[in-house]
A and B are shown apart, each in its own frame.
Chain A
Amino acid sequence: MRHPIVEQTFFWVAAMLLILVVWQAAVVAFQIPAFVIPRPAAVMEMLFGNGSMILKLMWQTLKETLGGYVIGAAVGFLLAVGMSQIPLLGRLLYPALVTSQAVPIVGIAAPLVIIFGFGMTPKLIIVAWIVFFPVVVNVMDGLAQVDPDQVNLARVLGGTRLRTFLIVKLPACIGPLFSGLKIGATYAVTGAVIGEWTASSRMGLGTFLLSANAQMNTSGVYAAMLLMTLIGVGSFVLLLVIEYLATPWRHRS
């Protein structure tokens, strides 16, 4: 008996190891010099040799990513609910939301720094800016696709508007919500790094990557890259677990 979570974990770990193996093999086979592409082993050495500094950098970037992510996801969810419940609001805001995503994220960063300075705020806003969109779109679609007969049934049973929304409509968009959250999770780190590049007062992985690059510290560049990836993949996997726990009806009889 293999538990689905155990099985999933196996494939995730296998995929990660495969990437490392291909990487190491390619560097050795093509005799690529270490300042162009370092071997994974050298990157690991870099990571574990500077453990406490690396952890500090990672913590900073993680804070920005998670903080912005939670804000973005919450705003996205509330917007979707508001826009689907008040059609006028939805029709008014939808074009604005789409436009917001057409603005290049690097373009937003500069004005945000001018407005909010070099602190945490602009970074949180940039991450939230990226994350909220897939959440809004998916949750709105989910709410729009609730079976009308299901809503009719609720009316026949004498349901109040609020209770019908909470009991019948909201749970129906859990699937789409998690789809949006997962897409957002992989983009969120990019937002944090761009934030650090434009407005860095404290060192995070993004700022470290820039300075390592300037110093020809290729192992450092790859180490930063690897940890950013780890944050993205980690939050994605965490969401898979939360989704699994939040939807017992999908796997329990």
Chain B
Amino acid sequence: MGGGVLLRERRREDALKLTISHLTISFGTHRVLHDIGLNVAAGEFVCILGASGCGKSTLFNAVSGLLEIDSGRVLLEEEDIAGKPGRVGYMLQKDLLLPWRTALDNIVLGASLRRGANAADRARAGELASHYGLGAYLHHYPRALSGGMRQRVALMRTIVAGHEVMLLDEPFAALDSLTRFTMQRWLLEVWSEMKRTIVFVTHDIDEALVLADRIVVMLPNPGRIGRIITVDLERPREIACMASPAFMELKSQALALLYASAGASR
């Protein structure tokens, strides 16, 4: 509970971290994203919720700088980062661990790719990873790790890369529901202690409600923002919270938006 109050205070004090305005992207004549505008505060956890094909991954590719944008702006604080990869952290859907590097070597991949990882990088990363329960796995190759453990390593790699804003694209989509639940707790713990700003794509309403401060509901054809729902549920959100009237109320709001769009596109 204390953590939640603290976070909300921090958010009020800090300026905007990530600003997306009038972002539009087309592939040929097909418009994939239309006039996206979104402000994310420092330390905020924003979930982007939408059916598959509504341009969520395209949005992340644009914000991460991998994809050129047609028009609009993407600002990290004051700096325009459109088309400049390497400014925000981005965890793609697949874990993308390199099979020939141990878990620890995968975690320090960012430093290795920029300038070569040194002993201090390894020590710091090892300490952090151990703190979050990966200590026993650091010297194993990814092949030997379970799906959940691989995702933790991938997430730790994203964190250790050091970007204040992290984009997470359905990181838990491939996990079974019990593992996913554990991973959500784990992510919230990491987020509240590390004080990072997270934008998280999901198509799972419950997941969005458990994790987010705000949920951005995206609608398809072309991908656009339908509505932004503020999730004012107390943190930490225990299991009981998922059956509370407030949770149900928010869930039905989100469902109504998503299904209205599904009906309309048919």
A residues engaging B (CB < 8 A)?
147, 149-150, 152-160, 163-164, 167-168, 171, 174, 247-250, 252-253
B90 at the interface (CB under 8 A from A): yes
Partner of B96, one of A149, A163, A167: A149
Total A-B residue contacts, Cβ distance less than 8 Å: 68
Interface check B161, CB cutoff 8 A: yes
Give the nearest-CB partner of B105 in chain A.
Answer: A167
Indicate if B64 sits at the interface (CB-CB under 8 A).
Answer: yes
Expressed in whole angstroms, the minimum distance between the Cβ of A199 and any Cβ of chain B is 43
Are the CB atoms of A152 and B113 closer together than 8 Å?
no
Q: Is the CB of B89 within 8 A of A156?
A: yes
A243 → B minimal CB distance (Å): 13
30 contacts between A and B (CB under 8 A): A147-B96, A150-B98, A153-B92, A154-B113, A155-B85, A155-B86, A156-B65, A156-B66, A156-B89, A157-B110, A158-B110, A158-B114, A159-B113, A160-B113, A160-B114, A163-B114, A163-B116, A164-B113, A167-B98, A167-B113, A168-B98, A168-B113, A174-B100, A248-B141, A249-B99, A249-B101, A250-B143, A252-B141, A253-B140, A253-B143
Chain A residues lying within 8 Å of B113, measured Cβ to Cβ, are 154, 157-160, 163-164, 167-168
Contact A171 B86 (CB under 8 A): no
Is B94 in the interface zone, CB < 8 Å from A?
Answer: yes
Whether B98 pairs with A171 at a CB distance below 8 angstroms is yes
Give residues 125-175 of B contacting A (CB, 8 Å): 140-144, 161
Interface size class of B (residues with CB under 8 A): 20 to 34
**Residues of A contacting B94 with CB < 8 Å?**
149
**B71, CB-defined interface residue at 8 Å:** no
CA distance A164 to B116 in the complex (A): 11
A159 touches B100 (CB 8 A): no
Contact check: which of B65, B90, B100, B116 meets A247 at CB < 8 Å? Answer: B100
Q: Is B112 an interface residue (CB 8 A)?
A: yes
A171 to B106 Cα, complex, angstroms: 14
Contact with A along B32-45 (1 / 0, CB 8 A): 00000000000000
- Taking the complex as formed, is B254 at the interface, i.e. its CB lies under 8 A from any CB of chain A? no
Known: A152-B92, A253-B140. 6 other contacts (CB 8 A): A149-B96, A150-B96, A155-B66, A156-B88, A247-B100, A248-B141
Minimum distance in angstroms from B139 CB to a CB of chain A: 9
Which B residues touch A155, using CB under 8 A? 65-66, 85-86
- Annotate B79-96 by CB proximity to A: 1 below 8 A, 0 otherwise: 000000110111010101
Name the residue on A nearest B67 (C-beta): A152
Task: Contact check, B141 vs A157: say whether CB atoms are below 8 A apart.
Answer: no
Beyond A149-B94, A153-B96, A163-B116, whether A253 also contacts B161 by CB under 8 A is no
Please report the C-alpha to C-alpha distance between residue A153 and residue B194 in the assembled complex, in whole angstroms.
Answer: 22
- Write the nearest CB–CB distance from A184 to chain B, whole angstroms: 23
Q: Which residue of A lies closest to B99 (CB)?
A: A249
Contacts of B96 in A (CB 8 A): 147, 149-150, 153
Please, which residues of chain B bring their CB within 8 A of the CB of A249? Answer: 99-101, 141-143
**Inter-chain contacts of A157 with B (CB < 8 A):** 86, 109-110, 113-114, 161
Give B160 Cβ to nearest chain A Cβ, in Å. Answer: 10
Q: A154 CA to B161 CA in the complex, in Å?
A: 11
Cβ proximity bits B42-65 to A, threshold 8 Å, 1 near / 0 not: 000000000000000000000011
**Residue of B64, B92, B98, B100 with highest tally of chain A CB at under 10 A:** B100
How close is A207's CB to chain B, nearest CB, in angstroms?
Answer: 44
Q: A164-B113, A253-B144 are in contact. Are A158 and B100 (CB under 8 A)?
A: no
